[in-house]
Amino acid sequence: MANNEVKEFLDLIRATKHKINLPASIEVFLLLEIKFHENITASEIANKYHVTIPAVMHKLDSLINDEYLIKEVDSLDKRKKYYRLTPKANMLLDDNKKIIDNKINNLFDYLGSDKDELIRILKKINEMEDDIDV
């Protein structure tokens, strides 16, 4: 794997500008959150990530305008709004999962036996985040 591919992968991890044409990183996280949590509201997302509801709403509205999300109103409580992915959003996430998987595989090929150490460190970081509820 060429050094520029390693740099590109690290840029991706750091959420800096990279060559993959995606919505900004926060929008991708929102799409993933909605994909894996049925009937999630903007306030639940805001609470989980310790951000303001208006900030989440701004991003959700942007994703609706870009046709990645559909907003649905709760039939029992009209104040509650739920979000659902569009086929366009599912395609985007599927395509980018393939791209990211490919980049990770290339990184692992480049690291060789050092990949086990990287995995160990990432698991330890994940455990630490679980312990402190980041």
pLDDT single digits (tens) 69-83: 999 998 898 889 999
Instruction: Indicate whether this model's pTM tops 0.85.
Output: no
Plot region of 87 (φ>0 → left; ψ -120 to 50 → alpha; else → beta): alpha
pLDDT at 72: 92
What CATH number does domain 22-132 carry, 1.10.10.10, 1.10.3720.10, 3.40.30.10, 1.20.1560.10? 1.10.10.10
Query: Is 130 a residue whose pLDDT tops 80?
Result: no
With tokens 């009209």, the residue in question is: 78
pLDDT at 18: 37
Query: Is 61 a residue whose pLDDT tops 70?
Result: yes
39 compared with 134, residue with greater pLDDT = 39
Mean pLDDT of 48-63: 89
21 compared with 100, residue with greater pLDDT = 100
Query: Is 20 a residue whose pLDDT tops 60?
Result: no
Mean pLDDT of 6-16: 56
pLDDT at 4: 67
Nearest-10 crossing angle of helices 87-111, 25-36: 110
How far apart are alpha carbons 34 and 84 in whole angstroms? Answer: 7
pLDDT at 129: 64
Q: Is 134 helix (H, G, I), strand (E, B) or coil?
A: coil
